[in-house]
Chains A and B, each alone.
Chain A
């Protein structure tokens, strides 16, 4: 590669990624040269500033035509942009949570905490933009490895150690399986570029070897179901969510999961959508399989959540259940697939980060993660209790919240393609979920706790408030987000070359 060629690339389209990369590097350098005793908390604010700048860059990119650089391994399209914005907003909010988390003395490793969050974010952003299995894999690993460390960052905390250990072992296996699956695809097509794979897979030789192709497909799916914590590869989630510091749990349940869906959509929608196996396209052949995964995920997540007493564990199962919901549009493959998924993930981001902000506030204050930590919260902090009620109602999918509209879109996508069984499973499990979600409300409003007033810090309050406002706004006027989506990211451009 000549310098001339390198300079001819339109590097400007990577501005958000560069911003994050630069800020992450900067944070690590500052951390290195800072006096050992000095507080690392201000680094979070610097990180937040970087994220905000990146969001501004990303917003300016709306409407930019599809561009590919670096030999078509990095591709800018509205699909990438739409999801990058989700990642950035989520990480921005999580940085505020991280700023507030824990006591100063527990934290000798605080600096790393902040820039690892940013590198994980960078990995997710790269995944959204990559058009090649290699960059996709590198992005995935950057995200994963950062997450492994983040999960175990409280070195002296046993639960945190356990979380990191389980996560790294399970995650490593899942990554290996994904890579194994990718190697089948590479073997069949001789290319790592997603678009070339799509063409390569339509060759007659592939159709003759449909069995190999399906093996590759299933292996990739297995690895990715791990990432989104879909059954039966969800076992790690409860332990890891419970053991990780709350901001990391939030990151895993929102950003990491969204990244998993990005990966699934990219690989399957670009490369496999029109590929034929024996008599149908691969995706249609495998629909029952994915439908089964989605159904089982919803059932396992919602049913096991009923028995959880630890709030973070309960939210881990709730998060598994939500992975099941988001798989539904992917099964149905209606024309709503991008819109329904994106909107649901946006709603999920708001309500879940908001709920975790409250969880972080309450569990730290009470030094307990048991459900009873929430008892009588409406006496101690009515505003927080009401905001938590909004998040819970949204997670349960009741009206006037973003969660309702999100679920509504998913229902529509399932019913419009005739997946009645899946829609019924979703309905039934949603009703089951009322029980454990409302249990939190019962604790907050019906049970009596201490009467001591507590108030969250300004940062937490801002996060909660932003999430509440978003949850209600997108619930009452979903048009704001849906029209923005329609005008800005008509995601179908990831399919067209």
Chain B
């Protein structure tokens, strides 16, 4: 209760914002250095949290709780005082997500060297975005979660709309509208839960909603009502994830936003949807989740195949990666829908692994774009001769993405499918087609870019300096580490998922 480590972690990027306030706006190098250094502080704190996390305990750790807002509503069944508290805490899963956020943020800040103008505003918004993301994962309270969730919207809108490519404003608007609608639906669900249960604390709500069905029926939270709430959650978080018919905004963002922001977006922001589905969907409505598990798995397979098919015909590498993200989020859905430990663990693995892989790939896209001024596959070719190191990393990223054993992508796909084969063998069999397709489109894209005749326009391109591909090296190292030694994740994930599954067993 006494630890303020999490608060310090969440708000540590503020230090950077405050320092930046006093830096003159034309000092490009100073601003970039401060921006990068400022992300090291949350990284250090996240590592402290990770190291200090007791892997033997299932309970929340580093918890903080203060009363925050009091609503006095006389005459309600569960007392007159509705309190919303400032409620933080981490579980095994969220420790990893916090660490992922801190790592990807630091590397994205390094990738921000390619930002060409108004560095000061850029880094202040960037750090604000980091506060939002860290807050989302550390919150143990729905309102707090929602607030941090919305905080990520505003800086992202500006970062896309101001520093993106040609069609940036349109992309920023569709990001805002889709995600605004999603979060609005989320808010309705949250308030309904609050009005019914009188608390917004995750644990409190789980406990409240796992009462015997007769009790819930009596409090007007009948089966259909809960199912409705779960479907609303699915839509709200499905926008973020994104689930297929709701994904169009995300393609625009991936194509139009600056590479550093796409690293963040694809690496972390999309994961909030997956995290939310797990934490709220499965956590609050396990019985109902079980009922619609088949449909979620079906959505997952559709995502997987649809994304893979469309990625196959794209000629812009950024679009290939964008559709590949859609496809890979299908694996998260499949894993969650399997509702057994191995499947859910696969989904969480995928969340983290895809965070690293997509950050790596988009970093490389940025690096290549910086040198060649294009991301069209047809304009690139034979890059391995002029940029051998970059091409090497690209190949590694591609292989990780298609799930080569020994890399993180393999572990997650393997486990997610293993989980689904137990429950829905037919769907899983269809889904495995997606893996083959993934191999096809990734290899087509990566091989076209790296091998073959070097395009005339690219002959004079120089390889990046060491500092430029250092982030790629770090990301690749993480990807291989997880692939070779998955226990770094699974030890922690096991804890959380175990607790969740135990809760599910009690209520069904």
Residues of chain A whose beta carbon lies under 8 Å from any beta carbon of chain B: 334-336, 339, 378, 393, 398-400, 404-405, 408-409, 411-412, 415-416, 423-424, 427-428, 430-431, 434-435, 438, 441-442, 445-446, 478-479, 482-483, 486
Give chain B nearest CB distance to A376 CB in angstroms: 12
In the complex, whether B33 has a CB less than 8 A from a CB of chain A is no
Q: With A335-B75, A398-B154, A434-B176 as known contacts, state yes or no: A412 contacts B191, CB within 8 Å.
A: yes
Residue of A428, A441, A442 with highest tally of chain B CB at under 10 A: A442
A405 smallest CB distance to B (angstroms): 7
Question: Tally of A-B residue pairs with Cβ under 8 A?
Answer: 86
Within 8 A of A (CB), among B112-167: 121, 143, 146-148, 150-151, 153-154, 157-158, 161-162
CB-nearest residue of chain B relative to A430? B184
- Give Cα A427–Cα B191 distance, bound, in whole angstroms: 12
B181 contacts the other chain (Cβ, under 8 Å)? yes
**Which of B146, B188, B191 interacts with A399 by CB under 8 Å?**
B146
B134 smallest CB distance to A (angstroms): 15
- Give the chain A neighbours of B67 by CB distance below 8 A: 479
User: In the complex, what residue of chain A is closest to B73 when comparing beta carbons?
Assistant: A335
- Determine whether the beta carbon of B187 is less than 8 Å from that of A445: no
Chain B residue numbers with a CB within 8 Å of A400 are 147, 151
Chain B interface (Cβ < 8 Å from any Cβ of A): 67-76, 121, 143, 146-148, 150-151, 153-154, 157-158, 161-162, 169, 173, 176-177, 180-181, 184-185, 187-188, 191-192, 194-195
Q: Is B153 in contact with A398, judged by CB distance below 8 angstroms?
A: yes
The one of B150, B185, B195 that contacts A415, using a Cβ cutoff of 8 Å: B195
Taking a contact as CB atoms under 8 Å apart, the answer to whether A431 and B180 are in contact is yes
B148: chain A residues within 8 A (beta carbon): 399
Nearest CB in chain A to that of B72: its residue: A486
A415-B69 contact given A431-B180, A438-B176, CB 8 Å threshold: no
Evaluate contact between A446 and B161: CB separation under 8 angstroms. Answer: yes
A393 touches B154 (CB 8 A): yes
Establish whether residues A482 and B69, one from each chain, have CB atoms under 8 Å apart when the complex forms: yes
Q: How far is the CA of A428 from the CA of B69 in the complex (A)?
A: 26
Cβ distance A434 to chain B, nearest Cβ, rounded Å = 5
- Nearest-CB distance from B315 to chain A (Å)? 29
Shortest distance between the CB of B59 and any CB in chain A (Å): 28
CA A393 to CA B151, docked complex, whole Å: 11
Contacts of A446 in B (CB 8 A): 161-162, 169
Check if A445 sits within 8 Å of B158, measured CB to CB: yes
Residue of B nearest to A490 (CB): B72
Q: Is the pair A438, B192 in contact by a Cβ cutoff of 8 Å?
A: no
CB distance from A245 to the nearest CB of B (A): 32
CA distance A235 to B344 in the complex (A): 56
Residues of B close to A441: CB separation below 8 A: 158
Which 5 A-B pairs have CB atoms at the shortest separation, nearest pair first? A399-B147, A427-B184, A431-B180, A399-B150, A416-B195
Tell me whether A442 and B161 are in contact (CB under 8 A): yes
How far is it, in angstroms, between the C-alpha of A336 and the C-alpha of B75 when the chains are bound?
11
Q: B191 — which chain A residues lie within 8 A by C-beta?
A: 408, 411-412, 415
Q: Using Cβ atoms and an 8 Å threshold, which residues of chain B touch A399?
A: 146-148, 150-151
CA distance A269 to B388 in the complex (A): 77
Bound-state Cα–Cα, A427 to B188, Å: 8
Please give, as numbers and ranges, the residues of chain B lying within 8 Å of A438 by CB-CB distance. Answer: 157, 173, 176
